[in-house]
Amino acid sequence: MRPRPAATLAVRAPGGAQRADWPPRGGGTGIGPRRPPSAGRKRGRSTSARVRGGAAGLGTRPFAGSGCERSRPGSPAVGVTEEGGPRAGAMRLNENVLLLGKKVVLVPYTSEHVPRYHEWMKSEELQRLTASEPLTLEQEYSMQQSWLEDADKCTFIVLDAEKWQAQPSTTEESCMAGDVNLFLTNVGDPSLGEIEVMIAEPSCRGKGFGTESVLMMMSYGVTKLGLTKFEAKIGQGNEPSIRMFQKLHFEQVAVSSVFQEVTLRLTVNEHERQWLLEQTSHVEEKCYRDGSSESH
C-alpha cells in the first residue's frame, strides 16, 4: 500500500503520489511518508517504519499452521532461496494468509479495502504525516492492484480484532484500523527489510494496535521471508513512533537533518529471534479468501 500516516502510528498507505523531493522521508505521529507510484511505494503510512531483511534458514514459524503454504521438510523458510535470500515474488506469499492476533487481525490488501483507505487519505493530517498527495478513487484501485503484483513488498491491512470477531456478518471494511508493510528494496542486502505501520482510524489509536501489528509482521518476515535485519525511518517529531520501536529493541543509528528523520535498526540475532517468537506465540495463521473472513 502506499505509505500513509495514522495519527499516532502511521507508516504507509496503498497508492502513491509523486513529489519533487523524492524519496520522501519521515513521518509524524506514528505515520510514515508515502512513495510515488513510480517508486512502488504507497502514499500513506502510520508509525512510519520500514523494514528490510532476509536471512537464511530461519524456517521456524511462530504461527499456527494454516496449510495455505507448504514446503519440504528441511527446506529453507517459504520464499527463501537455498542461499538464504528472498525468492523472486516472495512478497506475494501473503495473498492468501490471515494472521489472527489478540488485538489485531492482519489480512491481505484487497479491492474491498480501497474505499475506506481512500477516505482515510483525504485527511490533511495523514497527508502531511505521510508526505502524500491525495489520489482519486480510480488511482487508489490501480495502486492496490500494483501492490498486489509487486514482488518486493508485503502488505497487510490491520483490522480491529474485537470488532472483526463480534459478528459473523461484520465486514472487513468496517473493522479497518490501518496497515503494516514490509519492503525488500535493498538489492545489496536481501536480509534487510524496511517496515512501516499506520493506524489511521482515530478510535483505534493508543490501544497497542501498532505494536502488535509490527511484531506480527516482523515474525512473518523472519520466519517466511528469511529476514534478519529491520529498519524504520521515522520523522524526528514523531516521538510516539520512535518510543514504540525502541520498546521493540530498535536502536537509533542515524539522523537526517535534510529529511528530518531518524533511522532505527534491529538485528535479529538468536536471542532477539527467540524473544520475537515468544511475543507472537499467540498468533494464528489461517487461510484467507479474497474479500471474505470465513474464519471468524
Whole-number Cα distances in Å, 296 to 1, 122, 134, 172, 282 = 24, 30, 33, 11, 16
Whole-number Cα distances in Å, 163 to 7, 115, 169, 287 = 20, 19, 11, 19
Whether residue 30 is predicted with pLDDT greater than 80 in this model: the reply is no
Q: Among 105-114, 131-140, 267-276, which stretch is predicted with the lowest mean pLDDT?
A: 131-140
Cα dihedral 105/38/263/190 (nearest 10): 80
pLDDT tens digits, one per residue of 158-176: 999 999 999 888 899 999 9
pLDDT tens digits, one per residue of 134-145: 899 999 999 888
More confident residue, 197 or 67: 197
For residue 91, name the pLDDT band (cuts at 50, 70, 90).
low
pLDDT tens digits, one per residue of 218-246: 999 999 999 999 999 988 888 989 999 99
- pLDDT for 204: 96
**Geometric angle at alpha carbon 69, from 230 and 51, rounded to 5°:** 10
- pLDDT for 185: 80
The maximal CA–CA distance of the chain, rounded, in angstroms, is 50
Taking the CA atoms of 161, 166, 172 and 175 in sequence, report the sign of the dihedral they define.
negative
Q: Work out the average pLDDT over 205-224.
A: 96
More confident residue, 81 or 26: 81
- pLDDT for 296: 58
Whether residue 89 is predicted with pLDDT greater than 90 in this model: the reply is no
Phi, psi of 76 (to 5 degrees): -65, 170
Whether residue 214 is predicted with pLDDT greater than 90 in this model: the reply is yes
Distance, CA of 176 to CA of 163 (rounded, Å)? 9
Which run of H or E residues covers position 53? Answer: strand 51-53
The one-character DSSP state at 174 is G
Please tell me the pTM assigned to this model. Answer: 0.75
